[in-house]
Structure 1
Amino acid sequence: MKNTQPVVAYENSLFLNFVIDRKYRWIRHFLIIAAIVGIHFLPTSDPPNTDEGKEGWILFTKFISMAILLGFFYINHYVLIPVFLLRNRFLVYGISLLGFCSAIFLMMLILERLDLPFIDKQDETLLDWKDYLVLLILLMVFIAAVSSLKLFKIWIVNLIRFREFETNTLTIQLEQLKSQINPHFLFNTLNNINFLIDENPKLASKVLLKLSDILRNQLYLSKGDTIELKEEVVVLKNILFMEDIRRDKFVVDFQVEEGLDNVRVPHFLFIPFVENVVKHGAHQAMKNGLHVQISFTKAEGRLCFTCINPQKKKANPNDYGGLGLSNIQKRLAIIYPNNYLLEIDEKADFFKVFLSIPIDDGTYAYG
């Protein structure tokens, strides 16, 4: 499955920005207040009341109701949810809501006893437990609606934080895996130079200059997220070149399909495979006379890397110059989750690696 989900999804979402961004806080509060006020002044089909005294009382009760709902909203939003609900104290949270509803109903009973009916009942009966249940249901529906807004915001913020943490973790893992590649390549090359110093100082000097060039390229190329395939190929060919000058005969078939030079790939992704060639396959040739056969091709929108080399002895497929196949697979799994193919074909006389990765279209976050 292709990993096309952005790491931080809210960056291009106006809705999510509006929900979580603090600069829109006052607009959000204004909309909540406007919704509560609007509910109380919705037009009805009831005939207009000509009793000015009763009309004034109805208006007064509406303001009391709005004040109660707003108070209920803000107490729940800033006190009950953070203190109880988010700390998994669900029973205390429920009891608090029940207590708040009971306090409102008690206030309505007191107003009724003062001949100031908070609820204008058509049958002119007193408030009873049925009215309490109706009030409880209405307030619970209201609190569920407004609480869902708060919880949705918290869920989005936590999701973004988790994504950022996950991204940072993957970046650290990738940097660690890359740091395991570079030192080993350096140590191997220094050993080669040490070997050449006594045999051929001029060649040792040439290899040292080539190493300097490789390290310089790696230093500057590693500053971005990816590099072009042609730049990676230069590094791979330089590694093989340094092996070539050590051998009397070292035949390399290195093919790159036309049109792939500008394809972007992660840093140092293919170096471990070429290091494996140097370690296990540089001492003898295959039946076709080649010491190593490397190709980069394109198939069905994917970049395919193939590396074939002979084996001087039975090698451990998990041993890639000390790096280990597991580390290569970890890096591939981080960069291309469920979207890469790595096949190791080990025979008695040759060792073949096939790697297929999607061609970068900008949806992959490299470390």
Structure 2
Amino acid sequence: MKDTWNIYNWGKSLADNRFRLLGHLLLLFLILFLGFQNINGNFNRDGFLYAFVASTLVFALPIYLSIYWLVPRFLNRHQLIHYWILFFVIILLSVLLGLAFLYPLHQHYGSHEFCLQDGRSFSFLSFMHSILILMLIASGCTSFELFRRWIVSGRKIMELEKATKQTELQQLKNQINPHFLFNMLNNANILVKEDAVEASQILEKLDDLLRYQFNDSARKEVFLKADIQFLVDYLELEKVRRDHFEYQVTTEGELDEVCVPPLLFIPFVENAVKHNPDSNNLSYVHLYFTVRDNELLFRCENSKPPVPAVKKEGGIGLVNIRRRLDLLYGPKYVLQIEDKETTYNVNLHLNL
């Protein structure tokens, strides 16, 4: 897996625009080297330059045509039959053109008989040997170009998915924030009318909440303790507003260095508060945060009134909450809901 990742990173470097010129130069150097190697020792000094140019063109023609014409025109469009037919035709024409140029040159400037490496005279076997060698070289260069294009395409897809994910996540977070703010302002409005002292307390808490809302929540991550303090302020605000309400926040484990996305838990706590408005009996919300073995366990338990609260339209909804968790954590979370007769429990497991 590590080797695969190193290859991928190496491919990303080659796919970068800064390395495009270097890639062209390396390909040109390879073609010049093959052209030189093909005629090295077969021509005298007078005919070497002509033979070198002809030999280089023999290799350049199929390589460049395959990379810059056949691949985008046929292979990328999944026209494999057309691609392979034209590829073979180009290879065949390149070999024939090479023979048409090199054979006469060798007759005038050759240092020895035009033959194969094993000493046999030019024949049908040598012709097939040339086709096979040129096919392998052109196929290798084409394969490298396909790998580069795959890396570029994969990077574009990843960047598009990342941009889409960030946009969608921001929309979901914006959908949560105004909803929560509306509830807080409504609570403050009620208390201002009933009790000036309590109104002052709630406005102070609201100031802290809004400060967190517009400052810390704009960050990608916040410390878990800061998000817990935000929940405490919210619950304290609710306790001031309601006569028969109590809350409890329990933490366990090392929370100091743990970071989480902002406003991750408030939808659960807000729903817990909203759906147990029992003015005659004690209602409660209990929160539990446990960090162990690189996992964060969050539990929200709230009481349920004897008469269920009327559900209002326009709430955040469990679907949006799950969607945000999917975007943030992918498969690295487990969300369980337990709707019992007298309690409603939310259990969230996150891999840190």
Kindly state the Cα deviation for residue 123 of structure 1 after the two structures are TM-superposed. Answer: 4.8
Change (3 A) 1:124 1:240: closer
Residue 58 of structure 2: aligned partner? 68
Residue 331 of structure 1: aligned partner? 324
- Map 1:264-275 to 2 at 5 A: 264-275=259-270
Paired with 1:104 and 1:251, the residues of 2 have a C-alpha distance of: 86
TM-score by length of 2: 0.82
Paired with 1:108 and 1:151, the residues of 2 have a C-alpha distance of: 27
Residue 362 of structure 1: aligned partner? none
Among the aligned pairs, what percent are the same residue? Answer: 32
Amino acid at match of 2:17: R
Residue 345 of structure 2: aligned partner? 352
Kindly state the Cα deviation for residue 332 of structure 1 after the two structures are TM-superposed. Answer: 1.2
1:95 aligns with 2:88: no
Kindly state the Cα deviation for residue 69 of structure 1 after the two structures are TM-superposed. Answer: 0.7
Change (3 A) 1:314 1:325: farther
The one of 132, 136, 142 aligned to 1:141: 136
Kindly state the Cα deviation for residue 66 of structure 1 after the two structures are TM-superposed. Answer: 2.3
Paired with 1:246 and 1:203, the residues of 2 have a C-alpha distance of: 8
Residue 233 of structure 1: aligned partner? 228
The one of 188, 191, 206 aligned to 1:193: 188
Kindly state the Cα deviation for residue 30 of structure 1 after the two structures are TM-superposed. Answer: 3.4
Contact 2:58 2:98 in 1 (8 A): no
1:311 aligns with 2:304: yes
Paired with 1:61 and 1:278, the residues of 2 have a C-alpha distance of: 87
Residue 300 of structure 1: aligned partner? 293
Residue 82 of structure 1: aligned partner? 72
Contact 2:332 2:351 in 1 (8 A): yes
Paired with 2:147 and 2:58, the residues of 1 have a C-alpha distance of: 24
Residue 161 of structure 1: aligned partner? 156
Kindly state the Cα deviation for residue 315 of structure 1 after the two structures are TM-superposed. Answer: 5.9
Paired with 2:336 and 2:313, the residues of 1 have a C-alpha distance of: 14
Amino acid at match of 1:322: G
Paired with 2:250 and 2:280, the residues of 1 have a C-alpha distance of: 18
Paired with 1:123 and 1:198, the residues of 2 have a C-alpha distance of: 108
Determine helix, strand or coil for the equivalent of 1:87.
coil
How many residues align? The count is 340
Determine helix, strand or coil for the equivalent of 1:306.
strand
Contact 1:76 1:147 in 2 (8 A): yes
Change (3 A) 1:244 1:196: same
1:236-281 per-position Cα deviation (integer Å, ceiling 9, x unaligned): 1121122111222322211223531441111111001111121123
1:24-49 per-position Cα deviation (integer Å, ceiling 9, x unaligned): 33433333344344456669xx9x88
Kindly state the Cα deviation for residue 350 of structure 1 after the two structures are TM-superposed. Answer: 0.9
Paired with 1:319 and 1:136, the residues of 2 have a C-alpha distance of: 76
Contact 2:277 2:283 in 1 (8 A): no
Change (3 A) 1:305 1:105: closer
Paired with 1:42 and 1:236, the residues of 2 have a C-alpha distance of: 74
TM-score by length of 1: 0.79
Residue 213 of structure 1: aligned partner? 208
Kindly state the Cα deviation for residue 73 of structure 1 after the two structures are TM-superposed. Answer: 2.1
Determine helix, strand or coil for the equivalent of 1:309.
strand
Change (3 A) 1:321 1:231: farther
Determine helix, strand or coil for the equivalent of 2:337.
strand
Contact 1:305 1:356 in 2 (8 A): yes
1:106 aligns with 2:108: no
The one of 258, 274, 277 aligned to 1:279: 274
Q: For the aligned residues, what is the CA RMSD? A: 3.5
- Map 1:20-59 to 2 at 5 A: 20-39=15-34
Residue 364 of structure 1: aligned partner? none
Paired with 2:56 and 2:69, the residues of 1 have a C-alpha distance of: 19
Change (3 A) 1:179 1:113: closer
Amino acid at match of 1:64: A
Of stretches 234-243 and 61-70 in structure 1, the one that deviates more from structure 2 is: 61-70
Contact 1:275 1:321 in 2 (8 A): no
Contact 1:284 1:310 in 2 (8 A): no
Change (3 A) 1:313 1:290: closer
Amino acid at match of 1:106: L
Paired with 2:235 and 2:314, the residues of 1 have a C-alpha distance of: 14
Of stretches 294-303 and 197-206 in structure 1, the one that deviates more from structure 2 is: 197-206
Change (3 A) 1:315 1:323: farther
Determine helix, strand or coil for the equivalent of 2:275.
helix
Determine helix, strand or coil for the equivalent of 2:315.
coil
